[in-house]
Structures are given as structure tokens and as C-alpha cells.
Structure 1
Amino acid sequence: MSLLSATGLRKSFGPTEALRGADLTIEAGEIVAVMGPSGSGKSTLLHCLAGIVPPDQGRVAYRERDLATMSDADRSSLRRTEFGFVFQFGQLVPELSCLENVALPLRLGGMKRKPAEGLARQALDQFGLGDLAGKRPGEVSGGQGQRVAVAKALVTTPKVVFADEPTGALDSLNGEHVMRLLVTAAKDLDTAVVLVTHDMRVAAYSDREVVVRDGRTPAQVVAP
């Protein structure tokens, strides 16, 4: 049984077809790089897989349950507990400290502040960020901020992490650091990662590459 699957996804935004029958299967614990040129539909595919954007046609299933049959509340709960997210920009709340940002998914899931912040502090320590706990996102570097975002994505021990150009705003050294942390932590947790990127150096961390062209997924490459 696949952990997450998409079949025949079609999605349009106005007259523009972003997806034209895309298919993708994700197994538990694997890291899949979704690649393709700008405008190919790779980010739209990720958003459909995560239940953020509903496809116009086709089916997305998580553990064989169709996301379209879930209520909005159930999909929101799924994104809080089973899914984690790392984006290029904007995933940290600027008014909150780094500790509070990492604890936020736990708090939204109903955990009380003290135990949530205790787990968040453990996550920050795991990524070598314990000294940033009291700082706000605007007070840390871009590389540190992305590492905080990875800690936030993994603090709930999700089954899938969706990462959309997670190193796109970083220099190569910080990008490599973030990817090593993300991949190592995901493997330790047996968490699958769906990674949208155009960077071959980032894709090299994956187990498999899926190339999206013109809204379709015709080619898959197993990484060496």
C-alpha cells in the first residue's frame, strides 16, 4: 500500500492548465525530488498532494483515503499532524520567537504550551539551534531560519514533509547544510519527503527524481 498517491490530476488556473493528468506515488520513508522547468506544474502538484489545492480532476489518496472525501476540518488536522511543510519563504511567524514557531504546530494540535515548547526546544537542540530559542526570525540568518523551519516541519513527527524549493533563497553552503539536516532527520523518523526543486545538487539527496513537463509526469529516475 502506497503512503500517498496521485492519479490523473488536472488543475487549471483560469485559462492556464497547470496539471494535465499527473500521476505520482510516494512510499513511506522515501525522498522524492519533483523537478521541471518553471511553469511545468511541479509546485501545483505538491500543493494538490498536500491537500492545499483541490484538483479539478483526478484523485489524491493518503493511506488509501481520498482527500476529496475529507471534511475541511479533517484535511486541516491532517496537515497539522501527519504532514510537515518547508517553503522557500514565509513559513515562520515574525512576531513569534524561534521556539514559539517550532512549537506552533503542536499548539495548533491542542498540546499545552509547556510540553509543546519542551518538544520544540528538543528539536532546536537537535539541529544545533538551541541558542536561537528566544530570538525572532528577523534576528537570525537565512540559513538559521531555514533550519528552524525544518525543525518546525518535523516536530510533530509527520509521515510526509512537503518541501518547495527549501534552499532556493540560500547560498550553496547553507543549502547543503539544510538538506543534510532535513534528509538525515527524515530518514531517522521514516518520514517521506516530497521535494520540489530545480537544483540538481538538491535533487541528489533524493531516492528518486520525478520530472514534470507541461503538467505531466512522464519520466522518473532512480537516484544512484
Structure 2
Amino acid sequence: MTALLEAVKLRKAFGPTPALDGAGLRVDAGEIVAIMGPSGSGKSTLLHCLAGILKPDAGTVRYRDVELSSMPDAKRSELRRTDFGFVFQFGQLVPELSCLENVALPLRLSGLKRREAQARATEWLERLEVADVAAKRPGETSGGQGQRVAVARALVTGPRVVFADEPTGALDSLNGERVLRLLVTAARETDAAVVLVTHEARVAAYSDREVVVRDGRSREVEIVR
């Protein structure tokens, strides 16, 4: 069966420093894959190549059997609005917009009318248990609330793949567990795949498979649970 998303023998360097040295990864529809490794191992670079944000120096990334590097920049940007969702360590919400407007933003950028976009955004804020902060700006929310708003924004377009880069890294353990539980539950309900970058075993425990990246190379590890 063809993978939803697959990277093969990726190499990427920043100047003289190699970040990826033959790394690879396969992601099937609806599964949650954790990319683990210490800081500087190349795991975030691998995620950015998978998402089409970075072009690898060598190797291939294929999404739905189409090579990302062969797509024009405009098409890759469109994919990041429609097929891909993103959750970063610090949320990266737009501070001038309300939480509702932040969640609705990807839909508005895709051409959806304001009323319908905000109606869908409200549904996702409710699913992520943060409807009470809809009118607030990100700076007026707690870290856990802001990150759940970021998850709602990542899922509101119905993406096929959600890329989550250290999504609980700035949270305490209680809020981190809540964000992960809601992210995983929502992804499974919508059959979205999740690529989860982390260095914490408790975060990786939410995944179906674990891939370890070290010195720019990847290997799958057997999970015993």
C-alpha cells in the first residue's frame, strides 16, 4: 500500500553542518508517528522537510505519491493551508487576533466566508475545550489554553497530516497531557495522521510508532506497551 507521506534517504546541511544524513520516514493515513531524539539530532529538520517547508539537498519526500520538491512553491503553500496542519512549541498564534479569529484564519485564507469560517472555528474551540476564550487574545490566555487553541487551528481545515513540533515543550505535565489527549482524540476522530516531534518518552507514548533520529539518521524502534 502506498504511504500517505514518505521520506527516503534525506540529506540536508546548513552550511558545513549536516542536519540529515540519510534519514527516512513513512506515515500511513490515520496513524500517529513520534520522531524522537536529543536536541540537535535533526528531528525538526526532518519534520520541516516532510511538510515541504524545507527542500532536502538529496533524497525524496512524496505526499500521496507526488514528490513535494517537484511542486511549485504556490502548490506547496496551498498544501500547508489545506492538507497539512501545524502545532508548534509556542503556538505561534497571531497576537492581534482573538482566539476565534486565529482558528478561523486558515479557512479565511482559503476563501471561506467570515460567518462560516467562524462557525467552524467555534465548533473546534468547543471540541478542544476552550470555547470560553474565543473572544480573548492569545496573550490573555494560559499556556495550556493557547496551545489548545493552536491545536484547534491546526485541525479546523480537516488536514490529512498534522505536524506537531514539541507541542507540549512549554507546558507543565498536567497541561501537556491534556493537550496531547485532545490532539490525539481529535486526530483519530477525523482520521488525520500526526507526525509528533518530541524528546520526551511520555509524549511519544501517545503514538502508534516511534522513530529515533540521531546524528541525522533515523531508525524505527519496537514499542512494548
In the superposition, the TM-score normalised over structure 2's length comes to 0.98
Q: Does residue 139 of structure 2 align to residue 151 of structure 1?
A: no
Partner amino acid, structure 2, of 1:166: P
**How many Å apart are 1:214 and its aligned residue?**
0.6
Output the CA distance in 2 between the equivalents of 1:211 and 1:5: 16
Fraction of identical pairs, as percent:
71
SS in 2 for 1:38: coil
Q: Which amino acid aligns with 2:115?
A: K
**Alpha-carbon contact 1:207-1:223 (below 8 Å) kept:** no
TM superposition outliers: structure 1 runs of 4+ over 3 Å? none
Please give the alpha-carbon distance, in whole angstroms, between the structure 1 residues aligned to 2:156 and 2:224: 28
**Aligned-partner SS, 1:44:** helix
Does 1:111 find its partner at 2:80? Answer: no
Residue 218 of structure 1 deviates from its aligned partner by 2.5
Superposition map of 1:97-176 within 5 A = 97-176=98-177
Match of 2:181 in 1: 180
Structure 1 stretch displaced more, 10-19 or 125-134: 125-134
Write the deviation string for residues 153-204 of structure 1: whole angstroms up to 9, x where unpaired. Answer: 0001100000000000000000000000000000000100000001111000
Larger deviation: 177-186 or 122-131? 122-131
Shift of 1:91: 1.8
CA distance in 2, matches of 1:205, 1:156: 23
Task: In structure 1, list runs of 5 or more residues that go unmatched.
Answer: none
Aligned to 1:28: 29
Instruction: State the 1:221 CA deviation.
Output: 2.7
- Write the mapping of 1:23-102 to structure 2, written as runs, cut at 5 A: 23-102=24-103
**Residue identity in the other structure for 2:66:** R
Tell me if the contact between 2:91 and 2:146 (Cα under 8 Å) persists in the aligned partners.
no
Contact 1:97 1:136 (C-alpha < 8 Å) held by counterparts: yes
Contact 1:204–1:223 under 8 Å retained in 2? no
Question: Does the 8 Å CA contact 2:88/2:164 hold for their aligned counterparts?
Answer: yes
Structure 2 counterpart of 1:87, one-letter code: F
Aligned length: 224
| Cα drift, residue 128 of structure 1 | 1.6
CA deviation string 1:41-95 (max 9, x = no partner): 0000000000001100010000000001111110000000000000001520000
- 1:132-164 deviation per Cα after TM superposition (whole angstroms, max 9, x unaligned): 110000000000000000000000110000000
Could you list the runs of 5+ residues in structure 2 that have no partner in the other structure? none
2:206 aligns with 205
Across the aligned residues of Structure 1 and Structure 2, the Cα RMSD in angstroms comes to: 0.9
2:6 is aligned with 1:5: yes
Q: Whole-Å Cα distance in 2 between the matches of residues 183 and 126 of structure 1?
A: 12
What is the CA-CA distance between 1:223 and the residue it aligns to?
5.5
Q: 23-32 vs 125-134, which deviates more?
A: 125-134
Checking the alignment, whether the CA contact within 8 Å between 1:33 and 1:194 is kept in structure 2 is yes
Q: 1:152 to 1:223 in 2, by over 3 A?
A: farther
Normalising to structure 1: TM-score of the pair?
A: 0.98
Deviation at 1:129, TM superposition (A): 1.2
For the residue of structure 1 that corresponds to 2:101, the secondary structure is helix
Q: Which moved more, 1:81-90 or 1:169-178?
A: 81-90
